[in-house]
Structure 1
Amino acid sequence: MDNIYHQDNARATVNSVIDDPMTQFIHSIYHMSLIMIGLTVVSWVLLLLTNTRPHQHLPFPGYVPVIVIFLAMVTMHCIPGIAYCSPCKWMMAGLVMVCTIVAGCFITFELGLLTTVLVMLCVAVILLVLNFSGAKCPQEILPGGLWSTMLMLVLLLVLVVVGIAQLCTGNEELLETFVAVLFIMLVIAIPIQAQFNHGRLDVVEVVPREHLMICTLTVYLHTVMFFCCISYFIEVSEKKAATASTDVHGHEVESVTERNYN
């Protein structure tokens, strides 16, 4: 009888945990974001395998999809009803995913299939660590307080200024600075978002119905942006290495030519 009683209590406890709105909220965020990430990765791989380049046929500059994503997220934050109205939220999610896939092609086609897959695996490990840290580590060692918030605001201001300057000038060094600042912001933002997703931030109340799609898209976009930053760093390193080897080869040819001439 005691065993039966304890088993019933255990089942009741498990059921209460499963039925807990916050637990469902957390599970839904990561389930939905993983589905979105999976669809995006499969799309990139298929586009690479078939050598289909949608980004080369855009009737507008390549940064427009990024702006559309930004505006979609701002709209969902400013008009909460869109985030939980079924037709609207899925339309916005679809728009964000399509724009993300197209914008990501600029990176994936530069890297190639093998490098893209390897970078994805590395990014997955890093993001697991960052999200786990935000969900489980003591909050005393995590970003999310006043100083990290002020730092994020300063970095955001720098990001906007550098981004506008880069669009106006097309300077490669400014683009590198932009990506570097974005990368730092992501390293700070991902643990903060994980804390919010798990209801660990006391300053903000989680409303599952309103925040589910926004949090899902945020996790999704954090993942894609982190991947793009790492990929860009690899691409820049390869270009610099190729340029350096070309310069060395050019100097060697010049020296040989001078010797022959003399």
Structure 2
Amino acid sequence: MRWSVLDAPLDSSGRGRGERWAPAALRSAGLLGRLGAADAGAVDALVTDPTRDPDTGVIGVDQVRRAGRAIAVRVTELLGTGRHPLILGGDCAILPGTLQGLPAGFDLWFLDAHLDFEDGRTSPTGEAADMDLSIVTDHGPAGLLDREGPLVDPDQVHVLGHRVPDRDTADGMEAVRVDPAVHRVPADRLRGPDAAAMGRALAVGTTPAWLHLDLDVLDPLVLPAVSYPEPGGLDWDDLTALAGPLVRSGRLLGMSVTDFNADEDPDGRHAERIAAVLAELLSD
């Protein structure tokens, strides 16, 4: 596969959190050289406004929209030249822009500790990274996308590795319910041989697919350098066993990698491990 690495340093908290520095840290760990990938540069995806918009409930909403448009343009350009984009976030708020850049009709393989199905009312933070999956399936705040309707059919979304269930009404917050058409396989069903079996099962088919990897799908014991760690996650072997068949399926349009918090990796050892695993997964 002909990979092109594109930086999208979007931190949807608007406060300059460590995800903003993740692309630079992974580049410093030698990711491009390990992959033999082309350098596609960076998009203007910075969010510096920490204000929560009263209408949408989204922090820095105008900057989030701008970042999404910029990412979409570059994804479309790269696919048009026969390249496979590898987008380095940033946090999961890069997903709507990414999917806006794809041709219609694809599966989404979504590896994440969280369901990301909040909206402007239910999100406790206001970060678009709480809402990315609800946005792309047309359940999120209105007006964040340049077109109406879902970017991906909920029935074509496969959420893998989550540990956080739908939230019932509590502490004054509204309940969060994921569209029942979304396929969900929690982390406790992706251990050891089950991870490889799930990867092989999902790899079957001919529909193009996008792979989204939020690194908090990993257990914090193996990768603590994320912003919202959740116990009970996958280990590195589980991740490679699950994702390997997806990458080799022949269906993959590209991949996004998010939620590496470089602030939590002062000696660079976690960036080194991430780069090594990505190279193992994605190299021909």
TM-score (normalised: structure 1): 0.25
TM-score (normalised: structure 2): 0.23
Q: RCO greater where, 1 or 2, for CA within 8 Å and sep 6 or more?
A: 1
1 or 2, which has the higher helix percentage? 1
